[in-house]
Amino acid sequence: MVSYKRLNPEDVQFSSGVLSEVRPVQEEVAVPEPEEASLLPRRPPCSVTTGLLVIGCLLLLLCGGWLMGTVFWLHGSSNQQPHKPPPPASGQTPDSKVQTGVDDAAAAARRDACSQTPAEWRFDCYPERSVVVTRELCEARNCCFIPVSPPSSSATRPSGKNGVPWCFYSQDFPSYSLVSLNDTVLGQKGKLVKDVKTYYPGDILTVEAEIRYETDTRLRVRITDPSSSRFEVPITVPPATKKAENPDYVVEISKQPFSLVVKRKSTGAVLLNTAVAPLFYADQFLQFSTSLPSEFVYGLGEHRSTFLHDFSWNTLTMWARDVPPTEKTNLYGVHPFYLAMEDGGNAHGFFLLNSNAMDVVLQPSPALTWRTIGGILDFYVFLGPNPGSVIEQYLEVIGRPAMPIYWALGYHLCRWGYSTSNNTWEVVKSLRNYGIPQDVQWNDIDYMDKSMDFTYDLTKFDTLPDLVKDLHAHNQRYVVMMDPAISSTQPEGSYWPFDEGLKRGVFIKDADGKTLIGKVWPGLTAYPDFSDEVTHEWWYDNLQKFHEKVPFDGLWIDMNEPSNFLDGSTNGCPSNSLENPPYTPGVLGGLLRAKTVCATAQQKMSIHYNMHSLYGLMEAKASASALKRIVAKRPFLISRSTFPSQGMYSGHWLGDNRSLWKDLYTSIAGMLTFNLLGIPLVGADVCGFSEEPEEELCVRWTQLGAFYPFTRNHNAIDMKPQDPTAFSPMARTAMKQALLLRYSLFPVLYTLFHHAHVHGHTVARPLMFEFTSDVKTYGIDKQFLWGKSLLVTPVLDPGVDYVVGYFPEGLWYDYYTGISMRSKGEEVKLQAPLDKINLHLREGFVIPIQTPNLTLWVSSGQPLHLVSALSDDGSASGDLFWDDGESIDTYETDQYAYIIFNVTQKVMTSQVLHSNVEATYITVESASFYGVKEKPNKVLVNSQDAPFTYRENQQVLVVTELGLNLSRNFTISWM
């Protein structure tokens, strides 16, 4: 955010760029504008000219002809354009003069009007960093200037506090007027004009606003330049063909100044209100603001923060960047989507379809400002009304996540620094010897020959092909890293990927049309342009050739922001408005080219200025397509950089975290956020990537990691090993138990991913999704749910054998024992020895589990055990999706089984809604019923007597020796 300190209480304002070393944050604020304010007259507000003339006449009577000249001068300057300061961030003295020293009535009236704007409703008129903002600079922008006293201990104040802008928009700041509005097939289209240019170059004075009532729960608004095409994000969104017949929203349009208000029809809640600040639409500066119904806002990835965002003048910058997770910093991915809660438990979502560098400003009004430096304003509002349906509607636009291959949900192990293939192999064997489950082994960049893609070190990793064969023989899989940058310095004819890439013209070009050269791990490198289909075919050819040598099963695509050890290229970058835009969002390094390629670089679809944050998405799309062709199964892909729709092609890991307790905690927020963003296959590096974890931390992290949708242990070069076999017998046993627990829950997790793929549901889920009427759940990010039924309460602090968890109102069962606990919506202290992670089953649900084994291939063939957590009325329900685990599009081609389980009035029924041969291989051997209040006299299975046990102190009924085929309906009853 922007934080201000005074040099002179009345005249000087500092931006954070001047006050701190690197603080890539800032904020904006907007003042409500009255509808009657005229935007067409080119005169200062508050009738400045009239006031000056009156005072001038009085001074004329006292001072004579000398002051008459002053009056004429003032009259002439009042007719100048009020927005003629130097380019933003220049810090120069503006051309237009600002009268000082004369406390005239007009100026006093204006200051009085400015002072009427509450601090929390002040929208930043001078967001540039590294600028000393004076009253003169501020008022040259026709904005209000009111210094805000810093707190008594400003030098040590918390970041983001007391960031009230000193320079902010007046209530009558010029904006666009709606001059015409016509009905269209989908809604309305209006022409917006403004007569006064702003202080950013390339002002577009006439724009077009189209409002599309696409569905009853989805509104789309596009604001474009009718005279010139501008860059638009090249992802496929669903076309609307007819106007929604009974929308859940009402749209109100104000003409002068133009603004939109979107309300929920059922409650009148205001979901969007752009009247709070002026609309900007310049070539490289587009901005609008909106009020929010609450401060309960989530999403806006990728940033390291709590799950619930901070509204204390908090600026979130979006521009893909290679940097370890750090607060207040733009990270690997860009996701301009938020979910917001309203009073009464309703929720709505907002998505800005824009890939240019941007700032998103959160302020305590509460309000939010979008500020981007390119493209168009193309946004959606999703009406929900509950959080889960908001995400479903969002994913209908960007695309639902792919169904993962079954082994993707197993335990993955990696490190940077195995050094040799034999060392890698020894770790795999060690896990097998200790009976620790593992499905996938990875190698980091050290397997390559001189860090070059599509190679492996024939000396240190000479046995790599044999290692992969051994993994396959044990039903395990192998994943390799691939960076996008290709070595450009090998002797001609010795490195096919670069030679062939040059031949086909697949590399990003510089502004002069020559191959842009940067620097990454292999040294000087060229960058494939994944926006070009030619590059996709070249990428496939390279992967196919390498697969013939090392038959890998999946890909890890890293460094794809894209990362560059240089700023721009070996030849630098041109000096122009693309490299140095009039406004630069708060990107780390202060430049768009910081540790990436030049903004002016040329790609097939557009310049890198527009394409940068799409790079990881486009590489993932090319890689997923190639993998499908190579392995003829569901592609497994994990990417570092992400953008909306990424879940259709890859999962994500949360980057180069640290082996610290804080990182353990923040990983939950990251996991939950990416589930909102349509990338449910997500997790953090278990035990941390950099630094060396304490044994206790690694145990607790493995327990939490067992409930990441994607579970991988990974650490850095020169660090001690941190796989489970590297620790004491007690720690190793605790980690093994946690992983076996995950493997036993595979049927639950796999079914959750099916619902994510088909319906757009979340897998790891925040409590507030299921308990929207309980505001206490809105900020919880130390616990989470798997789907609707399983509550995970991990230990996140050192040296404790207990954990405090919040339990929403209802009946909860200890997963391990079946002992019930009734909550009124309260915190509960739970015992948590080092070998336990607390897990509770919510009343009313049935879950299927299996006996775990060393790999999911073996585990998934084991008999099922059904666990039913009964509500007070004795009811529960659940389901199971089952297929072969690896074929592409099994749901779409009807190659799956789907079974639902219901318990009511002491009878469980199984109903096969969709059958498939895969279900015939699985049996149901036993069932547990939690919450059976009395010991039954008998249990019947398909009307036949069956053996059972009843634990009276726990009220748990267990039925065994069932031998039921999953593919056939059955009943279990007791009396």
The catalytic residues are: 558, 561
Q: Tell which residue, 217, 45, 50, 31, has the closest CA to residue 142.
A: 45
Q: Answer whether 442's CB lies under 8 Å from 412's CB.
A: yes
CA dist 243 → 221, 364, 398, 825, 871 (Å)? 13, 36, 20, 43, 43
* Residue 9 burial (10 A CB sphere; 0-12, 13-18, 19+): exposed
Q: What size, in residues, is the chain? A: 975
d(CA 263, CA 248): 9
Is residue 87 classed as helix, strand or coil in its secondary structure? coil
Tell me how crowded residue 546 is: count the other CB atoms within 10 A of its CB. 19
Distance of CA 531 to the CA centre of its chain: 22
Q: Which residues of 638-655 are buried (b: 16+ CB within 10 A; e: fewer)?
A: bbbbbbbbbbbbbbbbbb
d(CA 264, CA 348): 9
Structure letter (DSSP) for residue 124: B
What residues does 909 pair with on adjacent strands? 902, 971
Q: Tell which residue, 108, 106, 104, 80, has the closest CA to residue 94.
A: 80
CA dist 620 → 41, 636, 650, 676, 756 (Å)? 52, 10, 6, 19, 19
Q: Answer whether 71's CB lies under 8 Å from 52's CB.
A: yes
d(CA 892, CA 890): 6
What residues does 251 pair with on adjacent strands? 262
User: Whose structure tokens read 């063939």?
Assistant: 861
Q: Tell which residue, 878, 854, 855, has the closest CA to residue 929.
A: 878
Q: Which residues of 292-310 are buried (b: 16+ CB within 10 A; e: fewer)?
A: bbebbbbbbbbbbbbbbbb
d(CA 317, CA 107): 36
Give me 783's structure tokens. 């616990």
Q: Sign (positive/negative) of CA torsion 438, 440, 445, 451?
A: positive
Q: Which residues of 345-359 are buried (b: 16+ CB within 10 A; e: fewer)?
A: bbbbbbbbbbbbbbb
Q: What angle do CA 672, 676, 679 make, to 5 degrees?
A: 90
CA dist 149 → 156, 163, 751 (Å)? 15, 10, 56
d(CA 359, CA 885): 41
Q: Answer whether 331's CB lies under 8 Å from 321's CB.
A: yes
Give me 728's structure tokens. 């004491």
Give the helix ranges, DSSP H, for 532-683. Answer: 533-549, 608-611, 615-631, 661-676
What DSSP assignment string belongs to 936-959?
Answer: -S-EEETTEE--EEEETTTTEEEE
Give me 772's structure tokens. 């929207």
- Strands (E) located in 64-159: 132-134, 144-145
CA dist 139 → 86, 145, 826 (Å)? 13, 7, 52
Q: Answer whether 744's CB lies under 8 Å from 849's CB.
A: yes
What DSSP assignment string belongs to 316-360?
Answer: EEES-------BTS--S--EEEEEEE-GGG-EEEEEE---S-EEE
User: Whose structure tokens read 């089952």?
Assistant: 882
Q: Is the peptide bond before 497 cis (omega within 30 degrees of 0)?
A: no
